[in-house]
A and B are shown apart, each in its own frame.
Chain A
């Protein structure tokens, strides 16, 4: 094995594209060099380079193979077709045992030859999300201008160029030259191997390993924060991004001017993160700290003082803007902003945000009654819920929608439950997000999501495959989580019907139940149990469905349950076969025709169990229903042991089939046990 090393040195690659580019490079090289049996891929990215090292065979060995062609006496066209297919001449063929045979020899290919042939094409079709032209007329595109290519096999340059016919490929030719840090170590230098490249760049102030740089970033900001007595607000996404913005991370700490410390903590954090890529800090008691941490790409010839001073000034200007919005926004009440929502389009076919808010308010007061919320508060919160979209702050930072609404509602003197709901009605925004807690917030959150679902289903915009542009799956899952986590007793059908907008109630219910099924499957529920419980779509009360599903799963886990299921299946099979002949057999059992003790015992058990199961189901006590039902197991087993169902006597046979049908009915009241796998 020998080392193959490739570095693509360019102008600054957007941080968010670097990781995917490294994956793509490894995948494409793995394919292109497959014949060299590549092993041990190592990838590296910095803002200015994308690199990979891999162990490969020194050559693809020579191979010979024989291809049997048509029969020697086959028509001429068959032979011509064979030659065309293999690009061979008649003279290349020999005859063997009545067939034409083509001997093919592929010569050995040295690794550098294969690499030099494969790379130009690989680079030309490299899948950047967006790539660009630069310089002259070359049509070779890259994410930003590509400036150098280092390509080494076993320490030697693998020569290739991007020249292609009339296209000069920007004059790019593989070499052994790369560059160090843009400012700290400018200029080109030669490298001979991966290790040499890594060490050479480290000496020239470039850390090429992403994990190492990431650690330097994370530990660096933590250390400067700790030195000032603060902790860093956890933000792995920001650490990743910053890692992709620097080659030589230098952690620094800046101060926040006291005059901004009364801004909402969320506003400060978003402004720092989105505009400046700064890390927000907390004091020991969890409050916003009057300082921020950030990563520079150079240490600064004055030890960083100018860099810190500059960043502090920039942040002051940002906070001054935020303060401007914060002060201006509070001059108008949220209520006074509601009218402006009529001018904001929600969706061309679903009208304005104003119309949407009126629908949600009406729906929220309906839902409020079902979830124990104050209906007037719910309607009020829903009315105000989107009004912050017209504020300057949310215009500047859309991610603060809801958050600002709560602050402004509180400032206006709205009830606390209303203000909380204005923020919390967006929850949960993702699988790791909490659900809203207050009753008013729950009502508005459900109404908001139901309105969205009903609206888009009503205009036929349903999610398909991977396409879900309006995040309807997330809305559905949000509804499911809110209902589950709060144990809310609701008829989804009634709620969907109340949401209106022309949505097909059964279709939307089916969509919600499907999301529930997917969610429960990921939690490890048995698919057959879910089919048995959800299949028919008869129940639209999620809490009851879940209790039922848990009870069925619990029953099946016991020995009684497993045996009962076997007996149920036997009964169902017999019924299926016999009902095809002369069914159905669902009439009342004739007690007078019960001859054997086992028949009488089963009928008695059914008489005892059926009303108890039914009562327990009425009480929604599924565990109790199951335990009653489990009592059928022994008489049913005994019945099958002793009784010939298909008796000679037609009346006896019918009566026994009716007895089994009754077993099936009682059990199917609990769940469709025919869906359970044996």
Chain B
């Protein structure tokens, strides 16, 4: 086991995780090119978790949570941030050990620090998915989420996957001992996280809360919903293109929610509509896998 003692920059941290998980046999993917709320939505996780074929992948996924925008003023809340996502199907017997080794790679020694697995049942109502696992704590801070997938798209998994999500900014802040996300060392050569993302946080916060055209967003939601259904209709189901529309619908819902135009009762109904799409996509995907 190799433990790197130098403090990694933000990008170095990603590179080390890539190198580590590549050594474990994971396919290193690039981010998916549709806006989404979490790395779990990537088809490499949601769809690949289903069916009998083994699969292992790792990737960075930009994650958008429109209502977490703080105009760049909050030290640790962002409407756009990065998740590092690992999925291994079937779950390996040494998943916990692998994970701890990955923390050593980025400079966190479990004999110097206090690592803990604290109960956390994961559930995504929009994906109709759930699993059991833990939050991974380092010195009282959540540095990752570890889940054994039991169900996705309302369908029990054939082979339970191990899914690990690292919140990269939070992890980097911890490793670099930085209080404010914008002060993170991005590249080890003077570029800070704020140099890259501060203006985006300011502009997107204004977009998410003030400017986004809600009538248009609602129309787009309905378009995506209709398109998803149409791609799944008939004999030739196109599971992957249909699933893109499902992810789009989910993100449009998040934007509408941030704009405050969705009431409590409507909320549940929107989530139910996205879940229906996700379920249909998962079923279509599975039909093609078996």
Q: A residues touching B (Cβ–Cβ < 8 Å)? A: 11-12, 14-16, 47, 130, 132-137, 143-145, 147, 183-184, 245-246, 276, 278, 294, 296-298, 300-302, 306-307, 309-311, 313-317, 320, 324, 343-345
Q: With A and B bound together, what is the CA distance between A310 and B141 in angstroms?
A: 8
Closest to B119 in A: A14
Is the CB–CB distance between A343 and B90 below 8 Å?
no
Q: Does B74 contact A (CB under 8 A)?
A: yes
Closest CB in chain A relative to B214 CB, distance in Å: 17
Q: Does B115 contact A (CB under 8 A)?
A: yes
Closest CB in chain B relative to A166 CB, distance in Å: 14
Q: With A and B bound together, what is the CA distance between A137 and B174 in angstroms?
A: 38
Q: Does B93 contact A (CB under 8 A)?
A: yes
Q: Does B118 contact A (CB under 8 A)?
A: yes
Q: Which residues of chain B (77-122) have a CB below 8 Å from chain A?
A: 90-93, 96, 109-119, 121
Residues of the A chain whose Cβ atoms lie less than 8 Å from the Cβ of B263: 343
Closest to B115 in A: A183
Is the CB–CB distance between B91 and A135 below 8 Å?
yes
Q: With A and B bound together, what is the CA distance between A136 and B89 in angstroms?
A: 9
Closest to A310 in B: B139
Closest CB in chain B relative to A322 CB, distance in Å: 13
Q: Does B132 contact A (CB under 8 A)?
A: yes
Lowest 10 A-B CB distances belong to which pairs?
A: A310-B139, A14-B119, A12-B117, A296-B114, A311-B140, A314-B141, A314-B140, A132-B132, A307-B114, A133-B160
Contact for A298 among B110, B158, B160, CB less than 8 A: B110
Is the CB–CB distance between B111 and A145 below 8 Å?
no
Given contacts A12-B119, A137-B159, 20 further A-B contacts (CB under 8 A): A11-B96, A15-B119, A16-B119, A132-B131, A133-B160, A134-B90, A135-B90, A135-B160, A145-B93, A184-B111, A297-B115, A298-B111, A307-B139, A310-B114, A310-B139, A313-B174, A313-B179, A314-B140, A316-B179, A320-B75
Q: B residues touching A (Cβ–Cβ < 8 Å)? A: 74-76, 90-93, 96, 109-119, 121, 131-134, 138-141, 148, 150, 157-160, 174, 177, 179, 263-265
Residues of the A chain whose Cβ atoms lie less than 8 Å from the Cβ of B158: 137
Given A130-B121, A302-B112: A324 touches B160 (CB 8 Å cut-off): no
Is the CB–CB distance between A345 and B264 below 8 Å?
yes
Given A144-B132, A311-B139: A133 touches B150 (CB 8 Å cut-off): yes
Is the CB–CB distance between A315 and B91 below 8 Å?
no
Closest to B75 in A: A320
Closest to A183 in B: B110
Is the CB–CB distance between A345 and B265 below 8 Å?
yes
Q: With A and B bound together, what is the CA distance between A316 and B76 in angstroms?
A: 12
Q: With A and B bound together, what is the CA distance between A133 and B91 in angstroms?
A: 10
Closest CB in chain A relative to B182 CB, distance in Å: 15
Is the CB–CB distance between A145 and B139 below 8 Å?
no
Is the CB–CB distance between A306 and B117 below 8 Å?
no
Q: With A and B bound together, what is the CA distance between A320 and B181 in angstroms?
A: 14
Is the CB–CB distance between A300 and B113 below 8 Å?
yes
Contact for A301 among B93, B111, B121, B174, CB less than 8 A: B111
Closest CB in chain A relative to B83 CB, distance in Å: 19
Closest CB in chain A relative to B215 CB, distance in Å: 21
Residues of the A chain whose Cβ atoms lie less than 8 Å from the Cβ of B113: 300, 306-307, 310
Given A136-B159, A310-B140, A324-B74: A298 touches B114 (CB 8 Å cut-off): yes
Residues of the A chain whose Cβ atoms lie less than 8 Å from the Cβ of B92: 135
Closest CB in chain A relative to B172 CB, distance in Å: 14
Is the CB–CB distance between B140 and A344 below 8 Å?
no
Residues of the B chain whose Cβ atoms lie less than 8 Å from the Cβ of A245: 116, 118
Q: With A and B bound together, what is the CA distance between A16 and B90 in angstroms?
A: 28
Q: With A and B bound together, what is the CA distance between A117 and B139 in angstroms?
A: 44
Residues of the A chain whose Cβ atoms lie less than 8 Å from the Cβ of B132: 130, 132, 143-144
Given A132-B160, A137-B159, A343-B263: A300 touches B114 (CB 8 Å cut-off): yes
Most buried by A among B113, B131, B148, B265: B113
